[in-house]
Chain A
Amino acid sequence: MSRSTPFRILVAKLGLDGHDRGAKVIARGLRDRGFEVVYTGIRQTPAMVARAALQEDVDLLAISILSGAHNTLVPRVINLLREQGQADVPVLLGGIIPEADRPVMRAAGVAEIFGPGTTIGETADWILAALGRDE
């Protein structure tokens, strides 16, 4: 990536979910594609994720969740982002999100959902397109 300043991305693990291999793989993969990735660590509440997004002033938030609590937790994060003036920050969702829940997530404001099998390259390309500047 040849931009003069890299995009900043927050990779967050939301809720009571200790399985963060996927989040780490994504964080590392995006790093290798030239992004600056802030990683929150596991077991973050919606308020903690929103606060990190605020202080780090990230260009995009990528939430990883495998616990099944996405219908409850993800809208809370998005509402907090809106309240703190970050409605323009795209929210990506990764992990195990059943097909039936996807419309709910999109309605809540999730920009894109990436399930198992998605490559780092697909994710990175989507992010670059979403942020409106290419490599």
Chain B
Amino acid sequence: MTAPAGSSNPEHLAEGLRDGDMRSLARALTWVERRADGFETLLGALLSHAGQAQLVGVSGPPGAGKSTLIGRLAEQYGAVQRVAVLSVDPTSVVSGGALLGDRIRMTDVSLADNVFVRSMATRGTAGGLSLACWDLALVLDAAGYDPILIETVGAGQGETEVRHLADTTVQVEAPGLGDHVQALKAGMLEVSDIVVVNKADRPDSARTAARIRQTLALGMETGLAPHAFHGQANDTGRGWVQPVLLTDALAGTGINELQARIAEHRDWLCASGARQDAEHRRAARLLNLLVDQGWQARRRFMLEAAGWDDVVEAVADRQQEPHAAARWLLQRVFGDGSGS
């Protein structure tokens, strides 16, 4: 893969984006997302400048109002500081293409010099984020954007990957999306730091918020509130209690309070020591993802050599039981009983 046209070299790009040049920043993001030759040098040159920004993950079901809410937040932050938005939309599993449509909701900030909005596709990564998100967040961080608002694909129950990347996660819900049993199910709700019920102009929004508060209160009793995720389950004094806020992103109501809670969470992260723990966990998670990716590419060859095609055929014909077949393949690859 060749380097994107228009770029000079990693050092120049790093310098340019650190000087506030938007073109250099945009090129660097493309370079890193494509993993073009030299991208590791570029990331390496930026490492020591990153680590300042608060990464705020914003998740929630499609249509809850994530993009509009982020647009409002970016508008507020942009009045006093540089803020970046990373918006992730799904890649089609059929064509490999994607329709990235989150900018549509952010036109109020489309000309603000303090606001940088970048759309990206998942490109086959599961969990609601692109793997490249981690690298792009680092580039934006090094460019001096703070906070970095990361919008996941429309998600809610399975797409919890953003919690590994973000310092602060905001779960956006909307009234009318399900009964109280939905609020009891596992998902982002139990691992998010701040919960927002958007579309507060709807008559049932207060009831939705009340149900969510009840569910979260139950989590406090069973010890599964989000402070458990932050590694302080046994030290409730240091724990973070998830606020549940009402916003109306279209009208711009409740945005100030959300901004205040995000700042509060940042303070809490620093004061409680949770931020250091988070850095450690983040590093482990990213390494895991990257090693996994390399490993997956390699294991394909190993499994093929072990007789993959024949085993698939046998399982498809119901000649072999799938669990036993998988164990047999693993034994052929590793030569031991690690498939148990």
**Contacts from A to B (Cβ < 8 Å):** 1, 4-6, 8, 27-28, 30-41, 44, 47-48, 51-52, 54-57, 84-86, 88
Contacts of B33 in A (CB 8 A): 5
Contacts of A33 in B (CB 8 A): 95, 97
Q: Which of B29, B116, B119 contacts A38 (CB 8 A)?
A: B119
Q: Is the CB of B98 within 8 A of A6?
A: yes
Contacts of A27 in B (CB 8 A): 99
* B interface: dominant SS: mixed
Q: Which of B30, B94, B98 contacts A57 (CB 8 A)?
A: B30
Contacts of A34 in B (CB 8 A): 95-97
> Is B101 part of the binding interface, using a Cβ–Cβ cutoff of 8 Å?
yes
Given contacts A55-B26, A57-B26, A85 and B95 within 8 Å (CB-CB)? no
Please measure, in the bound complex, the distance between the C-alpha atom of A38 and the C-alpha atom of B100, giving whole angstroms.
5
Contacts of A30 in B (CB 8 A): 97
> Is B270 part of the binding interface, using a Cβ–Cβ cutoff of 8 Å?
no
In residues 47-102 of chain B, which contact A (Cβ within 8 Å)? 91-92, 94-101
Given contacts A51-B111, A84-B23, A41 and B103 within 8 Å (CB-CB)? yes
> Is B129 part of the binding interface, using a Cβ–Cβ cutoff of 8 Å?
no
27 A-B pairs (CB sep. < 8 Å): A1-B97, A4-B1, A5-B1, A28-B99, A31-B92, A32-B94, A32-B95, A32-B97, A33-B95, A34-B95, A37-B97, A38-B100, A38-B103, A39-B99, A39-B101, A40-B104, A41-B103, A41-B105, A44-B110, A48-B107, A51-B110, A51-B111, A52-B103, A54-B26, A57-B4, A86-B6, A88-B5
Contacts of B27 in A (CB 8 A): 57
